[in-house]
Amino acid sequence: MPSVGVKIYSVFFKLLLRHRLQSLAAGEGGADAFGVSCRPDEATAPANPAFSAADGVASKDLHIDPNSALSVRVFLPTPPPHAHLLNQRRASEPAAGAAAAPYRGYLPHAVSSPRAAASARRRLPIVVQFHGGGFVTGSNSSASNDAFCRRVAKACDAIVVAVGYRLAPESRYPAAFDDGVRVLKWIAKQANLAMMSKVGGGVDTFGASTVEPWIAAHGDPARCVLLGVSCGANIADFVARKVVEDGKLFNPVKVVAQVLMYPFFIGSVPTHSEIRLANSYFYDKSTCILAWRLLLSEKEFSLDHPAANPLAPGRGGPPLKCMPPTLTIIAEHDWMRDRAIAYSEELRKVNVDAPVLDYKDTVHEFATLDVFLKTPQAQACAEDIAIWMKKYISLRGHEFSY
């Protein structure tokens, strides 16, 4: 069972969350096409384009859509061996360094040896991460999400693109889900612009203002993994289905796997866990239903909505057998666990690699909520995700397995 401290913290967390949702519902106005991707009362962590001494991960924020609040935070792990030499060079030549490096990361083309050049050109898989928060709170720049993404980038040796999708009720369904699709298309655009701009080993000025250098120089779009946390898992699964339906729209991005961490699934017919754990820790069922009411319009509200129930009758979409390998993370004391297990079982029935990792004495968001980030379960979860993910992102084959 969770500790007494966790139980007490959970009580206050639920009271505050319900108050916030009720305030949003009471102050709800008309639709806002631009939207918001972060609440002003939530603590955020600043981006740091320099490689952190603590974890060797750099990060920066990008506003990728001028017509909406959609943004991304990009995490780049572990500088190449020559990075400290380039930093020393920039320190001694500030004017040249400022012109050559608008970000305080490393320059992949400024190398002094073939070995350094090979290191600089190495391609990293791309993990597209969707944060939790019931579609109405949370952000890609929150302190807890920033720390989690850094942990994933380090453990998986991958570029992490954390999506700051638009929140409800300012932007109702399908805004957040469309934002997920839009980010994947943006990554595809970066990859295509990078290929078009290479001329004889140099870089042409065409598209230079829109090319994201970290992704263009070091990202491998053919090894893309979707990772969703809580409600973000619903978005990840939606994006995966869109890729399966029409992969040509996302070329050269290839989604090789997805990770669903305690997905925010629900349905009109209660499962055993939804009855037994309805008043469970941090996110009880009644509060989550209120979040769904803020996301879905009154006309389309249904607990069997395609965004809420992946196994709802008549859901449509591609056959489950076409879905990418799917790792599902669940918590012992989470009322949403049964429906996540059922979805995974349906995937396995059609021969999709879809294991379930069940963590004992844990609650919803046990690996991503700020109060749990330093717990052994949270650290083990990130390591387990990395082990499984490397089956599909390793260039050397499927040498990692349980």
For 260-300, how does the pLDDT look when each residue is reduced to its tens digit (9 = 90+)?
A: 999 999 999 999 999 999 999 999 999 999 999 999 999 99
| Dist. CA 138–CA 38, nearest whole Å | 6
Q: What is the pLDDT of residues 120-173, one digit of tens each?
A: 467 999 999 999 999 999 999 999 999 999 999 999 999 999 999 999 999 999
In a domain, 93, yes or no: no
Q: Which residues pair with 58 in a beta bridge?
A: 76
| pLDDT beyond 80 at 234 | yes
Tally of CB atoms within 10 A around 65: 16
Which residues are CB-neighbours of 373 under 8 A, at least 6 positions away? Answer: 144, 147, 148, 151, 367
pTM: 0.88
In a domain, 104, yes or no: no
In a domain, 369, yes or no: yes
Tally of CB atoms within 10 A around 42: 15
pLDDT of residue 380: 97
Q: What is the pLDDT of residues 193-224, one digit of tens each?
A: 888 766 434 444 554 557 899 998 899 999 99
| pLDDT beyond 60 at 107 | no
Please give the structure tokens belonging to residue 241. 């289905």
pLDDT of residue 121: 60
Burial class (CB in 10 A: 0-12, 13-18, 19+), 39: middle
Q: What is the pLDDT of residues 164-184, one digit of tens each?
A: 999 999 999 999 999 999 999
Tally of CB atoms within 10 A around 394: 14
Q: Residue range 354-382: average pLDDT? A: 97
- For 270, the 3-state DSSP assignment is coil
In a domain, 168, yes or no: yes
Which residues are CB-neighbours of 33 under 8 A, at least 6 positions away? Answer: 67, 68, 171
Does residue 101 or residue 247 have the better pLDDT? 247
Which residues are CB-neighbours of 284 under 8 A, at least 6 positions away? Answer: 14, 278, 335
Domain interval for residue 157: 4-78+116-200+208-393
364 a catalytic residue: yes
In a domain, 96, yes or no: no
230 a catalytic residue: yes
| Dist. CA 220–CA 207, nearest whole Å | 19
Kindly name the residue from 10, 139, 144, 230 that is annotated as catalytic: 230
146 a catalytic residue: no
Where residue 361 falls (left for φ over 0; alpha for ψ -120 to 50; beta otherwise) is left
| Dist. CA 259–CA 152, nearest whole Å | 12
The number of folded domains in the chain is: 1
Kindly name the residue from 82, 218, 305, 364 that is annotated as catalytic: 364
Q: Which residues pair with 357 in a beta bridge?
A: 329
In a domain, 108, yes or no: no
In a domain, 399, yes or no: no
In a domain, 101, yes or no: no
Kindly name the residue from 220, 334, 338, 384 that is annotated as catalytic: 334
pLDDT of residue 145: 97
| CATH at 47 | 3.40.50.1820
Of the CA atoms within 13 Å of residue 336, those in its CB half-sphere come to 35
| Dist. CA 132–CA 145, nearest whole Å | 9
| pLDDT beyond 60 at 331 | yes
**219-229 and 356-359 beta bridge pairing:** unpaired
pLDDT of residue 317: 87
